[in-house]
Structures are given as structure tokens and as C-alpha cells.
Structure 1
Amino acid sequence: MVNKTTKEHGGHEVTVTSSITTTVAPALPLQEHRLPLSNLDLLLPPLDVSVFFCYLHPAPTAAALKEALAKALVAYYPLAGEVAANGDGEPELLCSGHGVDFTEASAGGTELRELRLGVVDEGVEKMVPAKKAGVMAVQVTKFRCGGAVVGCTFDHRVCDAYSFNMFLLAWAAAARGSTAPTAPSFRRSIVAPRDPPPRAPSTETLIDRLFSPRSAAPPPPAAAAACAVNRIYRIAAADIATLKASAGPGRTKMEAFTAHLWQLCSRAASPLQRSCCMGVVVDGRTRMFPDGAMKAYFGNVLTIPYGVIGSDDLGRMALADVAEDVHRWVAEAATGEHFRGLVDWVEALRPKPAAARAYLGGTGGNEAMACIVSSGMSFPAGKADFGTGLPAFASYHFPWPAGAGYVMPMPSARGDGDWVVYVHVAPEMAKVMEEEPTVFQALGSNYVFG
């Protein structure tokens, strides 16, 4: 039995007691085998990502969740395995069917409505499991009111958010007794390198600008990562629309949001940070196969283009000009040819690992304030019904160890067009976000639970 205590503003203490941890294996036996990680998977360092869902009474029970999880793991068997090294020292999946660690916990006398979800460091992090082994872990925390928080943590090397969303929908469908969505595809040949790889200097130049061998890059600034804060904000649908209009014709909501965030970085940058680096995570599924051939592909299909602008110049620019710059370098990387070239580039580099330069400030290096934006617009908050109804709130949780900030907007579980934004940034950046008169708003209990 493990106690995790956290103190919230106002003096309220939340004690989470882990009563039991069991292992949930796939409902059907699996012959043990190894599944290679793709070249695009190999670009990811060993990072864990978490998601959590808050359910008011009646919440799904641990027993129902475990039974449905066992069923879902039959199709999503890599999540029940572990990451092991191959003969070259590269990570790969050992599909053993060992299972997923499932922890049942209690928040004692705390009501779910008492959670300060916006101040992640004061409570939410106790509701997601720390993955100790395997690929995935689950924790269900029950509250006095009959509500519950369902938290999941997974190894980012195995899959991206798009893939894990597929699993979440299959798990929820199994809990409801509904027909499972389309089965996942683990066909690595769809992202295999070309033989021989074509010579394309322009593509190689772009890849060399966005990625580098890990040994050639300095380690991430651990001190900056250690002092970062985790917050969740909300953005009203009307403010999103205003940002989009200010960004100019033809710009998307995400481009407008990224441009706005980039300009906020210029206000938060220290005198030593002479430039601001903004990166955007781009999914390559529809870029590589516009016909939908990768719709069910399970794995990582990501690249991270970025831009660097001097802090002073960035602060003086119009939002439309910043958004135009975001559009330019995102569009440059959002092509099938770029992703195929990236697969070839990793193949030529193996077994040496590589990393995205955006994590390290891009061309601005250590003198740049760096931030990464990843769209969570496909997050299935409005579909995560495990048989007792939709969640009142849901979010990602990703306090990664890199020095760059990480920001992930996603649709509010209310389904009204608002956004929920998970933020892992330096305290100075959080202060700037909270002091601006519009856009980022505090996430209050009344907004979440009504």
C-alpha cells in the first residue's frame, strides 16, 4: 500500500492510496515474438506520455475496465509487451503478452470536484501511473463522491498520440460491448526505407536542418526541465476564432495559436535568450498516403519542423506575419517526400540514434527559448465512454525532461468548441501566459464540473 500526498493551494491535502496493482494480460494467448520499431519510432528517445479522464458518478469500475482492457489488448498486443534491445543495441518490441500493470487507488475523503486540475503539479500527477516496466500502465483512482480518474501512461517510442487514441477508442468500445473500431496495423513495410534511396539534395538539407545524430547534439538543459511547471488552461471558442481572424486569410486555428504562443515566448525570454525557437509536431500519415492507407497504422509517424526568430524582432511583428512564417516552415515539412526521406536518413544513420533539433533550440542553440506545439485535436474526449457516460474532463500529461517547453491544445470534453491546453513550460513562460488579458484562462472547478 503506497500513499502519495499532495498539498493544494488553500491548504487542502489530497492523499492517494494505491491499494493493489495487478497485471492485465490479453484475453487470448499470444505466441511470443519480436516486432522491430520503425525508423520513425527510432527518432523518439525513451519518453513516457500520460493521459487521464475524469468521470463523475457513476464512474467505470476497476473490474469493468480490466475486463475490457484484456479484450482490447488482443488486437493491441504490443502494449502488453516490453521494449528490449536487439543485437545492435537498438530498441525493439518484445511481444510477450506479459500484460499491463493496473493499479487501483483511492483518494480517501476527497471529492473529485475538489481537484485543482489546472495546477497539474498539485494533484493530477498523482492520478497517472509512473510506468515501472512494460509499455503501458493504468491507474484508476476512486473518490468519495463515486467519481474516478482513469490515467494511462505509455512509452512514446512505441506509438504516438494518434495511435494511442485508436487504442483508447477500442478499449472504450470493449467496455460498452460495442463493435471494435478498425483493427490496428503493425505493418512496418509501409514505412520501410527505399532501396536504393533516391538522391534528393533539397530533402536531405531539410532533414539535416531538422534532425541531428544524438551524439552530435549537446544534452538537453536538465536544469531548465527540472524547474518547469505543468499547467492546464482553457481557451474559449470565441478567442480561438479571434486569433484565427487576426492571423490572416487561409491560416488554420493551430497556425494562429502557434504564432500567438511564439510571440508570448519573446516576452518570457531572458536577456540571455536572444532568439525564440518554435517547433510544431506534424503527423505524416495523410502526407505519405493521401488515400488513407495509413489510417490504422500503429506507431510513430512524426516530424518536428521549427522556426527561429530574434526575441526583439518577434515581439514587434504582427501576428499575421508570424503566422505566415509558421505556415511556411510547417508546409515545407508536411509532405510525403519529406517523411520518406526521413525514413531513408535514419536508415543511413543506424544504429546511431538521432534527435529533433527543435528540442535544443534549433539554429538558435542554447541561446534560444525553445517550445514545441503538438496538436491534440484528435484526442477522443468526446468518445471515451466506458459504459457509464462521457468524461467530465480529459487531458494529456507530458512533463518531459527536455529543456524545451511543450504545449498541447485539445478539444474540451464539453464539446462546445473550447480548447483545453496542457502546458509544460518554464515558470517565466507560465507567468506571461497567465498575465495576458485574453486567450489563456484559468481552469476552474465550475468550468470542469458545472
Structure 2
Amino acid sequence: MVILKGCYTVKPAEPTPNNRLPLSEFDQAKPFILSPTVYFYRPIGNSVASAIDTLRDSLSRVLVHFYPLAGRLYSIDGGRFELQCNAMGALLFEAESESKMDDLGDFRPTPEIGELVPHVDHSTPVHEIPLLVVQLTRFRCGGVCIGMGISYIIADGQSALHFVGEWARIARGEKLDTAPFLDREVFLDQNPPAAPSFDHEEYSTPPSLIGGTDEKEQREMETTVAMLKLSKDQVEKLKKKANEGHNGRPYSRYEAVAGHIWRCACKARRHESDQMTKIRVTVDCRNRLQPPLPKGYFGNASLPTTPTSRAGELLSKPLGYASSRIREAVEKMTDEYIRSAIDFLRCHPDLSKFKTFHSLRCPQGAFFGNPNLDITSWMGLPIYGADFGWGKEFHMGPAKFLGVDGKSFILQSPHADGSFIVPLCLQVDFMEAFNELLYQDI
């Protein structure tokens, strides 16, 4: 049980611009929820009281630079938002837990872990909801957790981690390393939207289950969460397996592991041979655009791509086939394709339906769920090293899955030993089989 001890509204320590900022289509297509993550730290002795003061003071100072996070969103037509930079502030909570950190096991994103991130009531008016919430929880063993929620609309993973890294730097008494680039004009086009140059199937309705229950019933199926681990040796075996008979540029560890997860899910879910299945992969577009985005660009600069295949082909062909489908989908994300995607989104008067790919709360449904998957790579992100003055975290990861069937992440181990961690949410009926297949088929 988590007991709240205090709540503070933290505003920028100095005056910041007070204006309303438009958002790019990258931002507008994201869901109106906060991305929840947790950072766990070993016992910090008697310094917990000063820790909340450290966080509050350093947060106030870092928000001078990252002031959009202290603002609020306002709804405009078509499911879109504008950002009002009004320095309303972020919320910082202080809490205690009667548990020990060891009671949390492997830190899989269960409801217990979810309690370590502040709850946000999305039924309240949009302009009253903070874009950043933080909770410092002290455990009975003396360890602490920082649970954080950052608006999907304001920042993608790269930007969110940029903010966390700079916040930790300021908390340690150091200077800002890389200032955020806040000008979204780089994406805004005053001309009427052009017709997209490509068919953007990543925004099309995902495949349904052949002869199975309808989408609504699928979304109501009970799910469970696992924290799966692959050793360096297992990862290397999968990479070698994916590259058997492949003469081009070798498939990466991510392409091999993601392809393996895709195949195992098809097999565990007992898909028919003709079953179409998609996976959703998020691609960082910062360096794919020409010219590349400025260093420190703060906002969303990632788009989805959706490798697709028949289950029968995935399972009858070698692992390299699944890896090739993933590579082809990612490689098509060129400057021309990305700008076409922006035009595609701009041409739609209402973006609400595209937000459904992220959230089960949307009435139109979500991308995730049988027969599909979302496999998000955090491998290239600086997810570790958030030292606020009491040492680096020993675990960082997602805090909630919200019961989203088929949602998964691929993280490198914090030990930097070449092993992977795979948090995964799947229907209860399929998790045991998936767990067996993941290791059995290596």
C-alpha cells in the first residue's frame, strides 16, 4: 500500500515565455495520456527528507528550460490540441510504502508498480491536467522510487529522457548539458496540406482474428504481464539464426529478437496459416529527415511503421524472414515518406481515430491485441543513469500496461552485459505457451 504524504505544485524558478504554441502532427497523433515510467534506487539512508527538497528545487530550475512541461493543453477542432505555456507547473508527490522493494519481485508493470506513478483523472477538463507528474516513494527498506508520467503529446521517449537526464544533472549541482530545442515551426507548414505521396498502411485498420471473437470481445480478455529475460548468449544465438543464409547487411539484435517475439506470439496464439498479423514498431525520425532535426529537439519526432505478414509464412520460413519484414518496414521511413505521413495526418480533419492505436479507452478500439503486437525498442535510448545525487537507479522500466494485450518493450539490461529484458502483456490463455516458446525456439 502506498500512502501519500504531500503534494507540491512546482513552477519554473524564473519567468518563462507565456504564449500558446501550435503542435506538430507528430504530437497531435499521440494519445492524451501520460507515459508512466519508474526508477528504483538502493537505500539512501536518512537523506529521504532532503531528497524531496532536492527534487522540488531542481525540478523548478529545469522547468525554466523545459517550460512546455509546466504548461497545459487546450482542445481545438479535430481532436487536436494547442499548448499554452502558462507556467501552471508540474505536480510532485511525496509518498511512503509499507512494502520492501524486494516484495515487488522483478518489477514487471503490475498494478502495484502502477501505484508508484501519480494517478491522473482524465475525466477532468483537459486544461486542468498537468503534463508532468512525479512521485517520490520511500520503502520500508530505505530504498526509493521515482515514478513519473510525461504527456505523450508533449514528448516522445527521446525527448522525455533528455528532460530526465538534464533534471538529474541539475539536481547534482551541474550545469545544463544540452538545451532543448523548442521551436516546432520546423514541422509546421502554412500551405494547404498536400496529398500524401504514399499509402500509409500504418494508419489503416489492423487485421482481425479469423473466425474468432470480435475486437470488443478480444479487448475484454483477461491479460497478464511477464518480465522476460534473454541472456547475451541467447540474443547472439537469435541473431546468428536470423542471419543464416542472409548475404546482405546482417540483421541487428533488435530485428532478430523482435522477429522471434512475433513468431512466438503467432504460435502461442495458435493462428491459422492465413491469419494476417501486424506488429507496430516506432521509428525515431530525427536523423531520417533531411536536414536532420536540430540537436535537442524537444517534442515528438517518431512515427509508427507496421510490418505485416501471414502467420503461416512467419512460421514456415526461417527467422530471417520475420527480421526482413521488420527491416523493410523501417527502411521505408525516408525523408520523403515521413513528410508524406505528415501530409496524410494534416489532410484528416479529425485525428481522434489515430489516437486509438495507443489507448484501450478509445471507443474505436486499439491497434494492439490478438492477432497484432506492439514491440517498442528502448535499446537506443539513454534509459539508465538518472542520478539525482544519491546514485544511479538499479532498475528503470515501464510502470503500467493498462491491460494492453500484445504490448511489449525490448530493453538492454542495466548491467550492460549484452542481455535483454522484455516486459510483455499478453492474454492469460497464451502467456504460458509464449514463455515456453520464447526459450524453446532459440
User: TM-score if structure 2 supplies the norm length?
Assistant: 0.84
Hey, what's the Cα distance between the residues in 2 that align with 1:20 and 1:303?
38
Match of 1:255, SS state, is: helix
Q: RMSD across aligned C-alpha pairs, in angstroms?
A: 3.0
Give the deviation of 1:271 after TM superposition. 5.7
Question: Contact 1:239 / 1:439 at 8 angstroms: preserved in 2?
Answer: no
- Alignment of 1:80 onto 2:80: no
Partner of 1:260: 260
Alignment CA distance shift 1:426-1:419 (3 Å): same
Give the deviation of 1:397 after TM superposition. 2.9
Partner of 2:37: 51
Superposition map of 1:293-372 within 5 A: 293-332=293-332, 334-355=333-354, 369-372=371-374
Give the deviation of 1:182 after TM superposition. 1.0
1:328-360: CA deviations, max 9, x gaps?
12212x211111111122222234445289779
* Aligned mate of 1:397, from 396, 399, 412: 399
Match of 1:144, SS state, is: coil
Hey, what's the Cα distance between the residues in 1 that align with 2:3 and 2:407?
30
- Larger displacement relative to structure 2 (339-348 or 58-67): 58-67
Hey, what's the Cα distance between the residues in 1 that align with 2:369 and 2:55?
47
- Larger displacement relative to structure 2 (266-275 or 43-52): 266-275
Hey, what's the Cα distance between the residues in 2 that align with 1:147 and 1:371?
35
**One-letter code aligned to 2:349:** R
Hey, what's the Cα distance between the residues in 1 that align with 2:438 and 2:215?
32
* Aligned mate of 2:230, from 229, 235, 248: 235
Hey, what's the Cα distance between the residues in 1 that align with 2:316 and 2:280?
20
Question: Contact 1:410 / 1:421 at 8 angstroms: preserved in 2?
Answer: yes
- Alignment of 1:65 onto 2:55: yes
**One-letter code aligned to 1:315:** L
Alignment CA distance shift 1:329-1:381 (3 Å): closer
Hey, what's the Cα distance between the residues in 2 that align with 1:439 and 1:251?
21
**One-letter code aligned to 1:350:** P
Match of 1:304, SS state, is: strand
Hey, what's the Cα distance between the residues in 2 that align with 1:213 and 1:370?
11
Alignment CA distance shift 1:383-1:269 (3 Å): same
**One-letter code aligned to 1:405:** G
- Alignment of 1:210 onto 2:202: yes
1:29-72: CA deviations, max 9, x gaps?
23432111111111112232111111002176111111111111
Match of 1:46, SS state, is: coil
Question: Contact 1:19 / 1:105 at 8 angstroms: preserved in 2?
Answer: yes
Partner of 2:22: 36
Superposition map of 1:179-198 within 5 A: 179-193=175-189, 195=191
Question: Contact 1:225 / 1:400 at 8 angstroms: preserved in 2?
Answer: no
Question: Contact 1:358 / 1:370 at 8 angstroms: preserved in 2?
Answer: no
Alignment CA distance shift 1:309-1:331 (3 Å): same
Match of 2:256, SS state, is: helix
Question: Contact 1:265 / 1:276 at 8 angstroms: preserved in 2?
Answer: no
**One-letter code aligned to 2:198:** E
Give the deviation of 1:122 after TM superposition. 5.3
Match of 2:164, SS state, is: helix
**One-letter code aligned to 1:245:** K
Give the deviation of 1:439 after TM superposition. 8.5
Hey, what's the Cα distance between the residues in 1 that align with 2:354 and 2:289?
21
Hey, what's the Cα distance between the residues in 2 that align with 1:142 and 1:366?
34
Alignment CA distance shift 1:406-1:225 (3 Å): farther
Hey, what's the Cα distance between the residues in 1 that align with 2:252 and 2:154?
29
Question: Contact 1:379 / 1:410 at 8 angstroms: preserved in 2?
Answer: no
1:405-441: CA deviations, max 9, x gaps?
2111122222222222222332244323322362999
User: TM-score if structure 1 supplies the norm length?
Assistant: 0.83
Give the deviation of 1:100 after TM superposition. 1.1
Question: Contact 1:23 / 1:99 at 8 angstroms: preserved in 2?
Answer: yes
Alignment CA distance shift 1:429-1:168 (3 Å): farther
**One-letter code aligned to 1:211:** Y
Alignment CA distance shift 1:440-1:74 (3 Å): farther
Hey, what's the Cα distance between the residues in 2 that align with 1:301 and 1:294?
11
- Larger displacement relative to structure 2 (371-380 or 147-156): 371-380
**One-letter code aligned to 2:203:** F
**One-letter code aligned to 1:342:** A
1:189-210: CA deviations, max 9, x gaps?
212248466666xx322x2x22
Give the deviation of 1:303 after TM superposition. 1.8
1:266-289: CA deviations, max 9, x gaps?
112256893322121111111004
Question: Contact 1:116 / 1:122 at 8 angstroms: preserved in 2?
Answer: no
* Aligned mate of 2:378, from 376, 379, 386: 376
Alignment CA distance shift 1:294-1:231 (3 Å): farther
Superposition map of 1:284-295 within 5 A: 284-289=285-290, 292-295=292-295
Match of 1:123, SS state, is: helix
Hey, what's the Cα distance between the residues in 1 that align with 2:155 and 2:440?
31
Give the deviation of 1:398 after TM superposition. 4.2
Hey, what's the Cα distance between the residues in 1 that align with 2:389 and 2:89?
23
In the alignment, structure 2 segments of 5+ residues that lack a partner are 122-128, 207-213, 360-366
1:158-215: CA deviations, max 9, x gaps?
1111110100001100111112121111211212248466666xx322x2x222599x
- Alignment of 1:101 onto 2:103: no
- Larger displacement relative to structure 2 (243-252 or 144-153): 243-252
Give the deviation of 1:82 after TM superposition. 1.6
